[in-house]
């Protein structure tokens, strides 16, 4: 099976009056279908910038070179070449690749019901009636473990706890069955028990739906729990990659060794 994403020699710079910051340098890696790949690295190592580039979500002062090859229905597009107005970018975002951020309220509107927001995600990409979208949204809300989903559809985000909000965001991200789900530190803002539940949920839905996941974290304990493969970034470059078990058993790069030492229970 071909790789879902092939990143080749990706460089991302930010230009400002003060000069140029090189956030990502010569990054090359693949994301495989049906796998959870963790992307780890310390703060500022370029994880979010890399993830955002996959959705064409970089600000105007960003300069991108290299390739972000995304293969969907046997057609490959280079996301790095797509402009904001390109209709292919709109169908990639949310439909083929979707993203869950650290803070659920970045994805939720406070003034619309959960049901309206999840069904809107369907209506953006599929030509179905509002009634059909509503039913699909309710099924997804139930699949992410929200009890009494029918009633919950009529609630507003402020009625939900942080963990429930993140579940709703995951429902919204997965309702169009994207091939790739990107999670950028989705559990950092949650307390420890809720964190564990959300990790289990992402893993469970990944098994059921067969989507690939790119899971960003700086916590190797989380990597051990959720991922099949791991990519380690350090100061904008990829310094190590491999099967999770291999990397955790014998980390090669000093930064990975240091990260591992910070997790006593492993």
Ligand X SMILES: Nc1ncnc2c1ncn2[C@@H]1O[C@H](COP(=O)(O)OP(=O)(O)OP(=O)(O)O)[C@@H](O)[C@H]1O
User: Which residues in this chain contact Mg ion in the complex, by CB under 5 A?
Assistant: 48
For 188, phi then psi, to 5°, come to -60, -35
User: Please, which residue, 99 or 149, has the CB nearer to ligand X?
Assistant: 99
Considering only 5, 37, 41, 259, the residue that binds ligand X (CB under 6 A) is 41
User: Please, which residue, 23 or 149, has the CB nearer to Mg ion?
Assistant: 23
Stretch of 27-35, 45-53, 116-124, 175-183 contacting ligand X, by CB under 6 A: 45-53
222 binding ligand X? (CB under 6 A): no
Distance in angstroms (rounded) separating the CA atoms of residues 123 and 129:
8
Taking residue 151's Cβ as centre, other Cβ atoms within 10 Å add up to 11
Residues 15-34 that bind ligand X (CB under 6 A): 21, 23
**Residue 104 binding result from ligand X, Mg ion, none, given CB thresholds of 5 to 8 Å by partner type:** none
Identify the burial level of 86 via C-beta atoms within 10 angstroms of its C-beta, where 0-12 means exposed, 13-18 middle and 19 or more buried.
middle
To ligand X, the closest distance from the beta carbon of 95 in angstroms equals 24
Stretch of 2-10, 37-45, 90-98, 142-150 contacting ligand X, by CB under 6 A: 37-45
210 binding ligand X? (CB under 6 A): no
User: Please, which residue, 48 or 256, has the CB nearer to Mg ion?
Assistant: 48
Q: What is the DSSP letter of 175?
A: T
Q: Which pairs with CB-CB distance under 8 Å and at least 24 residues apart come from 204-208?
A: 205/143, 205/144, 205/170, 205/174, 206/36, 206/181, 208/143
User: Please, which residue, 41 or 251, has the CB nearer to ligand X?
Assistant: 41
136 binding ligand X? (CB under 6 A): no
60 binding ligand X? (CB under 6 A): no
For 105, phi then psi, to 5°, come to -70, -10
To Mg ion, the closest distance from the beta carbon of 48 in angstroms equals 3
Q: What residues pair up with 98 in beta bridges, in sequence order?
A: 181
231 binding ligand X? (CB under 6 A): no
- Exposure b/e, 118-144, CB count within 10 A at least 16 = b: bbbbbbebeeeeeeebbebbbebbbbb
- Tokens matching residue 139: 């099924």
Q: Is the dihedral of CA 131, 137, 139, 145 positive or negative?
A: negative
Q: What residues pair up with 215 in beta bridges, in sequence order?
A: 38, 183
**Residue 66 binding result from Mg ion, ligand X, none, given CB thresholds of 5 to 8 Å by partner type:** none
To ligand X, the closest distance from the beta carbon of 229 in angstroms equals 18
Considering only 37, 48, 166, 256, the residue that binds ligand X (CB under 6 A) is 48
The answer to whether 153 touches 141, Cβ cutoff 8 Å, is yes
To ligand X, the closest distance from the beta carbon of 187 in angstroms equals 13
For 176, phi then psi, to 5°, come to -95, 10
150 binding ligand X? (CB under 6 A): no
182 binding ligand X? (CB under 6 A): no
Distance in angstroms (rounded) separating the CA atoms of residues 12 and 62:
7
Residues in touch with ligand X (CB under 6 A): 14, 21, 23, 41, 43-49, 59, 218
């Amino acid at each position: 099976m071909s790789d879902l994403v092939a990143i080749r020699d990706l460089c991302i710079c930010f230009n400002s009056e003060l000069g140029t910051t090189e956030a990502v340098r010569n990054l090359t890696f693949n994301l495989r279908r049906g796998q959870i790949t963790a992307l780890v690295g310390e703060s500022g190592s370029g994880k979010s910038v890399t993830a955002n580039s996959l959705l064409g979500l970089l600000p105007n002062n960003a300069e991108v070179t290299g390739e972000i090859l995304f293969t969907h229905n046997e057609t490959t597009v280079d996301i790095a070449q797509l402009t904001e107005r390109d209709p292919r970018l709109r169908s990639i975002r949310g439909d083929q690749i979707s993203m869950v951020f650290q803070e659920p309220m970045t994805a939720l509107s406070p003034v619309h019901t959960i049901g309206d927001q999840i069904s809107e995600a369907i209506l953006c990409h599929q030509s179905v009636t509002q009634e059909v979208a509503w039913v699909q949204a309710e099924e997804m809300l139930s699949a992410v473990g929200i009890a009494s989903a029918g009633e919950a559809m009529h609630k507003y985000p402020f009625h939900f706890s942080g963990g429930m909000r993140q579940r709703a965001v995951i429902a919204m991200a997965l309702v169009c069955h994207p091939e790739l789900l990107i999670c950028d530190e989705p559990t950092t803002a949650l307390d420890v028990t809720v964190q564990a539940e959300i990790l289990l949920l992402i893993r469970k839905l990944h098994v059921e739906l067969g989507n690939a996941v790119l899971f960003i974290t700086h916590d190797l304990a989380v990597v051990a729990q959720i991922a099949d493969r791991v990519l380690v970034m350090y100061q904008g470059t990829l310094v190590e990659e491999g099967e999770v078990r291999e990397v955790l058993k014998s980390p090669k790069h000093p930064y990975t060794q240091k990260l591992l030492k910070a997790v006593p229970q492993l």
